[in-house]
Amino acid sequence: TGTEQQSSGGTDGRVAFLDYGDFGGGSNPQANYNPYLDATRLGATDYVFEQLVVYDKYACEAKPWLATEYAWKDPKTLIWTLREGVKWNDGKPFTADDVVFTYELLKQHKALDNTGIWRYLSAVQATDAKTVSMTFGEPGAAAFTLFGEIKIVPKHVWSLVDDPVTFTNPEKPVGTGPFTVKAFNPQQLTLGRNPDYWQADKVQVDELRFHKADGGGQVDQLKLSRGEYDHNGMFVPDIKKTFVDRDPEHNHYWYPPGGSISFYMNLTKAPFNDTAFRKALLTAFNRQEIADKAQLGYVTPASQTALVVPGQAAWLPSDIPNQGVMGFDLAEADAALTAAGYPKNGQGKRLGKDGRPIAFTFRTPGEWTDWVQAGKIIVGNLTDLGFDVRQEGPTPQTYEADRAAGNYDTLLGVHGGSCNMFRNFQEPLASDQSAPIGKKALSNFVRWTDPRTDQLIETLRTATEESAQKAAVADLTKVMVDEVPMIPLWYGAKWFQYRTARAVGWPSEDNPYAAPGDNLLIITNLKPATAAK
C-alpha cells in the first residue's frame, strides 16, 4: 500500500497523528469528559485524566503513575507518595489536595462511585502536599485495584461545579494526562499532545484522531482493512483475510483473553445440585470448537480454575495439569455420568436420580449471535450425552433478570478476568453475593453457598501479603476444579488491531506489556515507525 513514509512528519520527528477508532458516547456523541460517567463519557478522558497507579491488565502489575510509591503502614492504612512536578494542563500544580478532593467527591456522590470504593475506604487525608493517606475499615489490600485507578480531577475546577454527577466538563477538560482535547464534533474527536506533560518525552505522537464508528459495521471493517486506522478495537470477522492479509507487513492484531464465559447451572435444582454430576460434565464440552467456530478462532478455551491463562498463570497452583483447561471427551463424560448415577436408558436418554429423562433449558440472549452459536455447540454436546436440552434466546433484559432471580436451568455467564483476585472470586462465588431463588442475586447467579469458599474469599480480602493471597487463590481454584460451581468454557477476547506503518511499539503477544485498553501505557510506549527502523 506504500503509505508508510509520508506521514510521520510531526514536530521533532514525532508521529504527526494517528487514526484511532471509536471514541464512545453512542451514535451521536455529546461532549462529555466526566471520567466517572463510564458509559457516556468520551474516550478522551483516558488520555486527559490520570490515576495514582496504572495497571498493566495483562500481567496484572501496578505501575507507579501520579503516585511514585505506595506503602501499607498497616493492613488498614495506605500511604501514597505523589509525583513531583506534575501540572494540570491549565498550568496549576497537581497536589495532594486534588487527590483528597477526588476521593471525597466520590464519597459525596455515590452515583459516581462506579466501583464502590467507599465500601472499603473510611477516610482519605493529605498528610502534606505530596502525601496522601487512606484508611480502611478493614484490611484494604483486596480492593487496591479499585481505588488505585480512580481518575484524579482538579479541585480548582471541580469544586466549583454544582452537580458533579451531571457535569459533562465540556470545555477544555483540565487533567494531568498526556493529551488535551483539541477539537470535537460528533464525527471526530481530536486530541493534541500536552507539551507540559510530566513525561512528555515518552509521548511520540502529536495528535490522536478518533473517528466515530458505526458499531463495528461494514464500513468500519472496510476502513480498517484499507489501513485507514492505526489502531482499532472492534470485532472483525475473519480478520486474517480481511485485515492482516491486506498488508501483512503492517497489519496486526492481538486478542488477549478477558473474563471467563462459563456454563452456569442453577445449583438449587437437581441434578445440578449434585457435585458428581457437575464434575462429570467437565469434559462434556467441545471448548476448542466453540473457540474456533462460534468465536472464529479469536479466543482460547478457558481454564476451569477461573483464572485467565496464560496471563494469570502465576497464580495457578503448580499441581493443576494443562493450566486447568479441560479437554473434550464425551466417552469420559458419559462414563462419569453413569458412575454418578445418571445412566442412559434404552432410547439413549440420560436419566435422573428419579429415573426420568433429564430435560432442561439453556439460554443465551438471542441478540448475541456468537453466544447463540456457542450455545448450539454446547446443546449439541449435551444432546449427544442423552440430555434433552432446549435452547432459548430471550432478550438481554429478560436474560439478565431471570439470571439474577435464579429463574433458569442453565445459561452462559461471565465472571473474573480482572486484576483484582478478590473480586474475581468473590463476585461469582461468595454467598453474600447470592440470594434466595426469586430474589435478585448481586453476582453469585449460580447460588454457590459454601462456607469454605466464603472463608477463602475472606482470607483473600484481608490478606496484605502476596503469598497469602496466592495461597487463598490456589485453594479457590481447587474449589473450582473439584466442586465445579460453574464450568468456564472460553475467554472473552479483547479486540485489538493495530498498524505499524506510522507508529510501532504496540503491545502484542510477543511484547505483552499492557492489555488493550491500557491506553496510558500504550501511548507512552509508541514510537514513530521510521525512527524505529
Partner 1 sequence: MSTPAPAVPTPSRNTQTAVEQGHRSGMRGRLLGRQPGWFAILWRNRKCRIGLLILAGFVLVALFAPVLAPYDPRSNDFPTSLGPTGDHWLGTTVQGEDVFSQLVVGARTSLIVGLAAGLLSTLVGLVIGLTAGYAGGWVDEILSFLINLGLVVPALPLMVTLAAYSPVRGLWLIIFVISVTGWAYGARIKRSQIITLRTRDYITAARFAGDGTARIIAREIVPNMTSLIVVGFMGAALAAIGGEAGLAFLGLGDPLTVSWGTMLNQASLGGAMITGQWAWLIAPGLTLALLITSFTLINFGIDALSNPHLREDG
Partner 2 sequence: MAYFARRFAFFLATLWAAVTLNFLIPRLQPGDPAEAIVSRIGGKGQAVDPAQLEAVRTMLGAPGGNLFEQYVRYLGAVFSGDFGVSYSYFPYSVTHMIGEALPWTLVLVGVTQILSFVIGTLLGTWAAYRRNTRVDSVITLGSTFVGTLPFFWIALLLIYVFAITLRWFPERGGYGGGSSPGWNWLFISDAFQHSVLPGLALLITGPIGWIIGMRNNMVQSLGEDHARLAVARGLPERRIAITYGARIAILPNVTGFAIALGSILGGTVLVETVFNYPGMGRLLLESVSNKDFPLMQAIFLFTTIGVLIANFLADILYGFLDPRVRKAENS
Alpha-carbon span 485 to 332, nearest angstrom: 20
- Please, which residue, 30 or 369, has the CB nearer to partner 2? 30
- Binding window for partner 1 (CB under 8 A); candidates: 97-105, 200-208, 280-288, 291-299: 291-299
Q: Beta-carbon neighbour count of residue 252 at 10 Å?
A: 18
DSSP 302: P
Closest CA to 82 of 124, 115, 51, 122: 51
Binding partner of residue 225 among partner 2, partner 1, none, CB cut-off 5 to 8 Å per kind:
partner 1
Query: Grid coordinates 433478570 are at which residue?
Result: 401
Find the distance separating the first CA and the last CA of the chain, reported in whole Å: 18
Contacts to partner 2 by CB under 8 A: 25-28, 30, 32, 34, 36-40, 109-111, 113-116, 118-119, 165-168, 183, 185-188, 190, 209, 211-212, 214, 217-219, 222, 259, 397, 401, 414, 427, 433, 442-443
What is the closest distance, in whole angstroms, from the C-beta atom of residue 20 to partner 2 in the complex? 12
Residue spans of alpha helices (H) in 138-274: 144-148, 155-158, 218-225, 239-242
What is the closest distance, in whole angstroms, from the C-beta atom of residue 236 to partner 1 in the complex? 7
Beta strands in 25-163 (DSSP E): 53-56, 61-64, 67-74, 77-82, 121-128, 131-136
Instruction: Classify strands 257-265 and 486-493 as parallel, antiparallel or unpaired.
Output: antiparallel
In this chain, which of 218, 318, 347, 467 binds partner 1, going by CB under 8 A? 218
Binding partner of residue 186 among partner 2, partner 1, none, CB cut-off 5 to 8 Å per kind:
partner 2
- Please, which residue, 94 or 229, has the CB nearer to partner 1? 229
Question: Per DSSP, what are the bridge partners of residue 364?
Answer: none
In this chain, which of 275, 391, 431, 464 binds partner 1, going by CB under 8 A? 391
Cβ-contact 501, 8 below 8 angstroms: no
Residue 403: alpha-carbon gap to chain centroid = 21
Cβ-contact 309, 497 below 8 angstroms: no
What is the closest distance, in whole angstroms, from the C-beta atom of residue 286 to partner 2 in the complex? 25
Binding partner of residue 390 among partner 2, partner 1, none, CB cut-off 5 to 8 Å per kind:
none
Alpha-carbon span 27 to 109, nearest angstrom: 28
- Please, which residue, 385 or 411, has the CB nearer to partner 2? 411
Question: Per DSSP, what are the bridge partners of residue 437?
Answer: none
Binding of partner 1 by 42 (CB under 8 A): no
Binding partner of residue 391 among partner 2, partner 1, none, CB cut-off 5 to 8 Å per kind:
partner 1
In this chain, which of 173, 227, 394, 428 binds partner 1, going by CB under 8 A? 394
Binding mask 237-256 for partner 1 (x = CB under 8 A): xx--xx--------------
# binding residues, partner 1 (CB under 8 A): 26
Q: Under the rule (CB under 8 A), what is the footprint of partner 1?
A: 216-218, 221-222, 225, 236-238, 241-242, 293-294, 296, 366-367, 369, 372-373, 376, 391, 393-395, 397-398
